[in-house]
Amino acid sequence: MTPGRSRSWTTVATPKSTTRPVDFGAILGRPGRAGPDTRRGAMNSEEERQLSAELERLKQEHRDLDAAIEAMLRTPGYDRLQVQRLKKRKLQLKDQIGRIEDQLFPDIIA
Is 22 a domain residue? no
pLDDT digits (tens, 9 = 90+) for 54-97: 999 999 999 999 999 999 999 999 999 999 999 999 999 999 99
Domain range for 59: 31-104
Is 54 a domain residue? yes
Q: What is the mean pLDDT of residues 10-20?
A: 42
pLDDT value at 3 more than 90: no
Range with lowest mean pLDDT among 3-7, 73-77, 99-103: 3-7
The answer to whether the beta carbons of residues 82 and 65 sit under 8 Å apart is no
The answer to whether the beta carbons of residues 43 and 103 sit under 8 Å apart is yes
Is 110 a domain residue? no
Cβ within 8 Å of residue 41, ≥6 positions away = none
pLDDT value at 41 more than 90: no
Is 91 a domain residue? yes
Is 49 a domain residue? yes
Select from 40, 26, 23 the least CA-distant residue to 100: 40
Is 109 a domain residue? no
Domain count, the chain: 1
Is 6 a domain residue? no
Q: If you count them, how many residues does the chain have?
A: 110
State pTM to two decimals.
0.58
The answer to whether the beta carbons of residues 88 and 46 sit under 8 Å apart is no
Is 63 a domain residue? yes
